[in-house]
């Protein structure tokens, strides 16, 4: 591996890492020497593994730093999970914020981000607000480098950004607006400006682009720079030299194995481990059924880095969402995601027929209520929940997050009943068909009575406008997420726009 001046190397790695917010593996101490005995099939300065936003951004930054780059993508198409994502960037003190007159200081951001990331150790007067040196350094780097990275992408002509706008065409609110530590409640969320607007497709208010639009722009930028992206190249091994430096990779293709040398480094932006059942069982806090990650997210980097003795962390965390169980059983790949329980005449209950959370709380937080453990009953009581809605929800919110479209046959995942009691019986019957996937979960004997009581209490809260159990609709984040994804604003005569009494008459539905 050719040696570059240390200061130049640090600057290059810093720029690439900040742009892509990804783990780097350039010179790992303790790796087993595995000097190449065979010639390279290809040799470049930098090998980038993965073609999502992380990988393509890293490739662009490496190229701008003068490196010869190749991108290796395991899947058959370019874009990774980014291509199916919302494409939202969370960027503190970004240039759009500053242009609007809001400057977010480093101290303010770090106080806030430690508060929400490490709440158990947070203290406003503690050194680093209670975070460890390593934790704090990582967050500092994020603040220092994230905003300059997106500005650099704009300066390259690769991507233009705009604020993510909510249903009122205001910058989308943060998930924790009400925390006193959050001194920048709106404007950190930004999205790309798409190259063009395609009729009939969803965009954010004001024409903001999604992940697929971001990938289109990044791919166009890499193509203009003649950066090759090789699909169906699954990196299976790393090559290190006698100095414990990673100097290349071994990838499998449909035509066989290829060895790609990297004179200056290897950068991984290869996604998570969602579709590796063994890793899910090992690292997740409770059984996890599926998600929006692409099928190639099998934890390849964890396996490779672990083989070199690299440390890992934060593997039990994720950007959570609930999914429709029966779809997820069929395939862990992109079952319908329930970012928030849709509609206003809708609620969610556990196997006891009781509400257990604010159904409109932001998706990164609310799904974690499924992880609650009852040490007396020896169970996760909320592991599988039931989403309940009425005919009004079908008429006004049909087609959103699992609610069936009005006038169409019921999808397989939807359970119906002319009364709440009949609905409960039908839920119980449906659970028997998936018992082997739920730890043989059944409804509590008092489920029907509790469900009726839960709906009655919910209706009382809806009429009064105040959810005395879980404060649904009080936080600005509840409102923002209720309308996320183009959910229509409907006429609701009750004081809380996120709560409407369920009908006194059936039919009722569940999933």
- 105-111-113 Cα angle (round to 5): 100
> Residue 181's pLDDT band (boundaries 50, 70, 90)?
very high
Mean pLDDT of the chain: 91
Token pair for 63: 């190229």
C-alpha span between 51 and 401 (Å, rounded): 28
The closest alpha carbon to 275, from 322, 347, 328, belongs to 328
The pLDDT tens digits for 188-226 are 999 999 999 999 999 999 999 999 999 999 999 999 999
Distances (CA, A) of 225 to 62, 161, 219, 270: 11, 21, 10, 22
Topology of domain 322-510 in CATH is Flavocytochrome C3; Chain A, domain 1 (3.90.700)
The pLDDT tens digits for 42-59 are 999 999 999 999 999 999
The predicted structure's pLDDT at residue 168: 93
* Choice between 216 and 309, residue whose per-residue pLDDT is larger: 216
Angle at which helices 133-156 and 53-64 pack, to 10 degrees?
70
Strands 386-390 and 346-349: antiparallel
Rounded to two decimals, the pTM is 0.90
Architecture of domain 6-72+223-307: 3-Layer(bba) Sandwich (3.50)
The closest alpha carbon to 80, from 312, 328, 305, 298, belongs to 298
The C-alpha R_g of the chain, in whole angstroms, comes to: 25
C-alpha span between 179 and 200 (Å, rounded): 38
Q: Where are the domains of the chain?
A: 6-72+223-307, 89-209, 322-510
CB of 247 within 8 A of CB of 241? Answer: yes
Please, which residues have CB within 8 angstroms of residue 269's CB and are 6 or more apart in sequence? Answer: 20, 22, 48, 49, 50, 52, 53, 54, 55, 57, 58, 80
Which residues, listed in sequence order, are joined to residue 388 by a DSSP beta bridge?
A: 347, 510
Peptide bond into 404 cis (omega under 30): no
């Amino acid at each position: 591996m050719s040696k570059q001046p240390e200061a130049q190397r640090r600057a290059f790695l810093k720029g690439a890492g900040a742009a892509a917010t990804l783990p780097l593996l350039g010179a790992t101490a303790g790796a087993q020497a595995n000097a190449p005995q065979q010639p390279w099939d290809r040799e470049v300065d930098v090998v980038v593994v993965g073609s999502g936003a992380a990988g393509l951004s890293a490739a662009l930054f490496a190229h701008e730093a003068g490196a010869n780059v190749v991108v290796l993508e395991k899947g058959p198409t370019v874009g990774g999970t980014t291509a199916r994502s919302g494409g939202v960037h969370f960027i503190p003190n970004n240039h759009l914020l500053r242009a609007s007159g809001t400057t977010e200081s480093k101290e303010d951001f770090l106080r806030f981000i430690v508060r929400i990331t490490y709440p158990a150790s947070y203290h406003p007067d503690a050194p680093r607000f209670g975070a460890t040196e390593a934790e704090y350094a990582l967050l500092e780097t994020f603040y220092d480098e994230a905003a300059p990275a997106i500005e650099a992408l704009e300066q390259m002509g690769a991507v233009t950004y705009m604020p993510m706008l909510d249903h009122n065409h205001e910058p989308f609110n943060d998930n924790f607006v009400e925390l006193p530590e959050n001194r920048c409640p709106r404007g950190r969320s930004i999205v790309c400006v798409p190259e063009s607007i395609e009729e009939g497709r969803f965009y954010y208010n004001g024409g903001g682009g999604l992940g697929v639009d971001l990938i289109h722009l990044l791919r166009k930028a890499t193509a203009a720079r003649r950066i090759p992206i090789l699909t169906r190249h699954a990196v299976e091994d790393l090559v290190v030299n006698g100095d414990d430096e990673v100097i290349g990779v071994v990838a499998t293709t449909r035509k066989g194995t290829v060895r790609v040398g990297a004179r200056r480094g290897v950068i991984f932006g290869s996604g998570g481990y969602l579709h590796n059942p063994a890793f899910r069982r090992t690292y997740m806090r409770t059984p996890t059924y599926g998600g929006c990650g692409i099928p190639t997210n099998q934890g390849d980097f964890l396996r490779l880095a672990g083989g070199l003795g690299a440390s890992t962390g934060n593997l039990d965390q994720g950007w959570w969402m609930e999914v429709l169980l029966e779809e997820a059983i069929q395939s862990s790949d992109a079952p319908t995601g329930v970012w928030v329980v849709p509609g206003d005449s809708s609620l969610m209950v556990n196997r006891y027929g009781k509400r257990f959370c604010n159904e409109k709380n932001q998706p990164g937080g609310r799904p974690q209520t499924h992880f609650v453990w009852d040490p007396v009953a020896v169970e996760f009581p909320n592991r599988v929940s039931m989403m309940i809605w009425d005919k009004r929800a079908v008429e006004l919110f049909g087609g959103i997050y699992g609610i069936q479209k009005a006038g169409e046959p019921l999808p397989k995942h939807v359970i119906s009943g002319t009364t709440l009691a009949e609905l409960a019986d039908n839920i119980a019957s449906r659970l028997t068909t998936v018992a082997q996937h739920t730890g043989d979960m059944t409804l509590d004997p008092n489920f029907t009575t509790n469900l009726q009581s839960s709906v009655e209490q919910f209706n009382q809260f809806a009429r009064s406008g105040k959810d005395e159990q879980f404060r649904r609709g009080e936080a600005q984040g509840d409102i923002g997420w209720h309308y996320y994804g183009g959910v229509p604003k409907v006429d609701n005569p009750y004081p809380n726009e996120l709560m409407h009494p369920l009908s006194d008459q059936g039919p009722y539905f569940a999933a």
